[in-house]
Amino acid sequence: MAHVKSKTIPISVFGNVLKLLDSAASKMKVDPALMEYIKQPRRSTIVKLPVLMDNGDFKMFTGYRVQHSIVRGPAKGGIRFHPNVSLDEVQALASWMTWKCSVAKIPFGGGKGGIICDPRKLSKKELERLTRRYTADLIDVFGPAVDIPAPDVGTNAQTMAWIMDTYSMHKGHTASSVVTGKPLEIGGSLGRVEATGRGVMFTIRECCQNIGMDLNGASVAVQGFGNVGSVAAMLLAEEGAVITYVSDQYGAIHNPDGIDIPKLMKHIEKRKKVVGFRGAKKCKQEEVLFSKVDILVPAALENQITKANVRKVRAKVIGEGANGPITPEADAILHKKGVTVIPDILCNAGGVIVSYFEWVQDNMGYFWEEAEVNRRLEIKMVEAYKDVQEMSHSEDVSLRLAAYMIAIKRVVAILELRGIYA
């Protein structure tokens, strides 16, 4: 569920991506026909899934898998289980994966999947049957060299284990590299769970260095306390930042002296929601986005900061832990106001970077120490940040436009070498 409710007509997330791509292309010399080609998702599959519920009834679910691009390598991207999943959203998320993998310079295209469901209302057995049926129906769509899913909102390592097993049973051999974000025991990578949040911290650290803001002592508000928000908050706190606001889908908390994140994580394990944590006061969810902090980390869902509320944002730096939390219109206003926004396709690329490392390790059958994974992740994130920063400086554009320009340039360069099989 979106944290900020909008009374206006729902915003097309895929439409937002197209707008961003057009803005970036307008600053570059790209053949418009080529641009048209790389904007469109290559293949979108819709599956209708009958699932046996625990009460003995069958219930129908709708699932999607979109392969936006395979120009730079196999399609790569997560699978989302959420009531608001739609083809529009999955196409947008798949497209973002293409640009994210390109900015991160990893040899993947972009894909994304989703099932319209509320995973909190399904039993473990129902979730397993739903995941296996989805995988079976997409058996020829997935593959270690074709399309490699991973966790996203509402899915986790257990979901990936079911996908891996179902795929392997159909193929007759264990194919661990068909998914990433798996449990360690079946070919997962050390550091993968924390990778997205760790990457968010690295890019915020680089950004602070660049704009001359001291991260040590900087105040931070985090919207969303799932896998991304919680780890980013913890690692930013380890760098000396003071986490003053945290929210989740149920509520928000505030402590001007800093919320003890490891303690909050322990509280969450038991209580599942941030409200009720003793080391902070309850506050309104909106306060998290609009508080006067140095750094804001939206780490929940799309379209949180829009034209309608952007003027209330008071943070100096925004690190997009989520995909698409700011609409293009709001983004332009923030840029004019001088707010530094670290765009999603750069800021949250840590997850897919370590997914790439996991896939490499599975394919080699040789696994790295956690320190090695984190070291390589840092190198990749810092390099990507530098590339984007330099482009932003030389072209006098926002970090977001710079990231898209780099991403498009790399996809076009490969297309020029490969040629278009038209």
Residue showing the smallest CB distance to ligand GLU in the complex: 78
Task: Tokens for 35, please give them.
Answer: 């641009």
**Nearest C-alpha neighbor of 265 from the set 288, 231, 295:** 231
**Nearest C-alpha neighbor of 317 from the set 195, 405, 203, 198:** 203
Residue 95 vs 398, nearer CB to ligand GLU: 95
Closest approach of ligand GLU to the CB of residue 337, in Å:
27
Backbone angles phi, psi at 67, to 5 degrees: -105, 105
Say whether residue 177 binds ligand GLU (CB under 6 A). no
Say whether residue 138 binds ligand GLU (CB under 6 A). no
Sign of CA dihedral 102, 195, 268, 157: positive
Among positions 42, 68, 76, 132, the unique one binding ligand GLU when judged by CB under 6 A = 76
DSSP string, 307-340: TTTGGG---SEEE--SSS-B-HHHHHHHHHHT-E
Say whether residue 152 binds ligand GLU (CB under 6 A). yes
Given the residues 39, 112, 316, 380, select the one marked as catalytic.
112
Residue 152 vs 248, nearer CB to ligand GLU: 152
Closest approach of ligand GLU to the CB of residue 110, in Å:
9
Among positions 49, 66, 150, 313, the unique one binding ligand GLU when judged by CB under 6 A = 150
What is the CB-side half-sphere exposure of residue 11 using CA atoms within 13 A?
Answer: 25
Contact letters (x/-) for ligand GLU, 198-237, by CB under 6 A? Answer: ----------------------------------------
Q: Which of these segments, 24-32, 236-244, 325-333, 350-358, binds ligand GLU (CB under 6 A)?
A: 350-358
Say whether residue 71 binds ligand GLU (CB under 6 A). no
Sign of CA dihedral 345, 238, 372, 113: negative
Question: In this structure, how many other beta carbons lie within 10 angstroms of the beta carbon of residue 216?
Answer: 10
Q: Which of these segments, 32-40, 44-52, 76-84, 293-301, binds ligand GLU (CB under 6 A)?
A: 76-84
Beta-bridge partner residues of 217: none
Task: Tokens for 219, please give them.
Answer: 């105040």
CB 121 within 8 A of CB 105: no
Say whether residue 78 binds ligand GLU (CB under 6 A). yes
Say whether residue 325 binds ligand GLU (CB under 6 A). no
Say whether residue 180 binds ligand GLU (CB under 6 A). yes
Distance, CA of 150 to CA of 277 (rounded, Å): 31
Distance, CA of 399 to CA of 164 (rounded, Å): 37
Question: Annotated catalytic, 112?
Answer: yes
Residues catalogued as catalytic: 112
- Residues within the interface to ligand GLU (CB under 6 A): 76-78, 150, 152, 180, 323, 348, 351-352, 355
